[in-house]
Chain A
Amino acid sequence: MTVSVDQIWGWLDEVPDPEIPVISVVDLGIVREVVLEGETVTVAVTPTYSGCPATSVISMDIETALRDRGIKDVKIETRIAPAWTTDWLSEKGRSRLEDYGIAPPQPAGGPEKCPHCGSRNVTRVSQFGSTPCKAHWRCTDCLEPFDYFKCI
């Protein structure tokens, strides 16, 4: 079969993040490179947080997705440097996060607005949230708690 690198990127863009299924592993910015050599596809993955338990699930999901499309020889390369940064989140990923109720990362270090009601009156509950990549915030207008995707 003939596949192109672009096609593979497209397939990977359909692999959801296991913790935040509204965004893909490509949106998350952890797929750094796809190399096609003969029948072998090598995907370079950069983990988000060093202890993130989703990392091994992501590698497995990528491998499964490519095998399902008929790629027999899949190699996953873990690349630590340069370190993952939230700057690598795609624009599509950022807007999907917000629709899902997770405030996207901001260079200022806190959410721009409440993802539920849009109010700018928000306060931090804790630097740490339900997963390593998120912090816990609350809106002081609608009073709803929400996750904020930490900026690193």
Chain B
Amino acid sequence: MTSDMAFFEFLCRMGDNTLVLGHRVSEWCGHAPVLEEDIALANTALDLIGQTQMWLGLAGEVEGEGRSADDLAMLRDAWDFRNVLLAEQPNGDFGQTMMRQYLFDQAHVLLLEKLAQSSDERVAGIAAKAVKEVTYHVERSRDTVIGLGDGTSESHRRMQAALDLLWPYVGEMFTDDEVSGIMAAEGIAPEPSSLRAGWDAAVQQTMSEATLVIPDSGFAHAGGKTGFRHSEHLGHMLTQMQWLQRAYPGARW
């Protein structure tokens, strides 16, 4: 794999994570349990989609084949997406959505802090901007996980179920491969495995405050960020997200 190809893959991973999770979160718009949560989720989704514009915009530039961020988002099918499996998991109930958000946000913020020091100044610029937004995301998702985990017996039960359900998807965020090896060698991005200890410590602290028990299993699903095997949920999501371009190819505002 050439370093340009690895760079493109890396940028798609960044942009597809924010795109797919941003779309998932936006599905709550108008449906959240209370108005403040509805607004907060919509704001989070908006930040993530904005970050997608920057990551996929740069991906198109690096690829050099004239594809825009919109082209990459709307004209690729499931097998070309490079998001982690966690991001595409369905919303479930509000607690499950917030658990997914926290598990992702905590990794996202640690990664962006490192990327702000990237040897590529475009990557560093995007990360420095995004980390300000994601700091707010993790503050809120963490508070919500603690509030609901250490809440009523019903909210506690649901949060524990959400953690048990989503835990097998966290490992994929920290696996290294050829793409990450090339990025690390060039100083563009850290090896994902190097973020695990910091993430574990933060998540351990949060779950303990939330009175939730982290599952005793290291099993991790794989296949999202390599595109090798997405879960069945991504394709269904894309039929919604890409509906307009699929029904009216080339449609513009």
Contact = CB atoms under 8 A, between A and B. Distances in A.
Contacts of B49: 51
Contacts of B140: 126-128
B125 A132 contact: no
Residue among B47, B124, B132, B139 with most chain A CB within 10 A: B132
Interface in A59-82: 80-82
Contacts of B128: 81-83
B133 interface: yes
B12 to A, nearest CB: 17
B185 interface: no
B36 A51 contact: no
A89 B55 CA distance: 27
B121 A81 contact: yes
Residue among A51, A83, A126 with most chain B CB within 10 A: A51
Interface in B128-144: 128-130, 132-133, 136, 139-140
A81 B121 CA distance: 9
A129 B37 CA distance: 10
Contact of A50 (B44, B50, B139): B50
Contacts of B129: 50, 80-81, 83-84
Mostly, the B contact residues are helix
A152 B132 contact: yes
Given A80-B129, A81-B129, A83-B125, A129 B39 contact: yes
A125 B126 contact: no
Contacts of B206: none
Interface string A67-109: 0000000000000111111000000000000000000000000
Contacts of A50: 47, 50-51, 53-54, 129-130, 133
Contacts of A126: 36-37, 39-40, 140
B173 interface: no
A107 B195 CA distance: 28
B43 interface: yes
B51 A51 contact: yes
A50 B69 CA distance: 14
Contacts of B125: 80-83
A130 interface: yes
B124 A128 contact: no
B50 A49 contact: yes
B48 interface: yes
Interface string B162-196: 00000000000000000000000000000000000
Contacts of A82: 125, 128
A57 interface: no
Nearest to A127: B140
Interface string B86-121: 000000000000000000000000000000000001
Nearest to B37: A126
Contacts of B37: 126
A146 B139 CA distance: 21
Contacts of B43: 128-129, 132
Contacts of A150: 136
Given A49-B133, A50-B51, 11 more contacts: A49-B46, A49-B50, A51-B50, A51-B51, A80-B126, A126-B40, A127-B40, A128-B43, A128-B44, A136-B36, A152-B133
10 contacts: A50-B53, A50-B130, A51-B48, A51-B53, A80-B54, A81-B129, A83-B125, A128-B40, A130-B39, A132-B133
Interface of B: 36-37, 39-40, 43-44, 46-51, 53-54, 121, 124-126, 128-130, 132-133, 136, 139-140
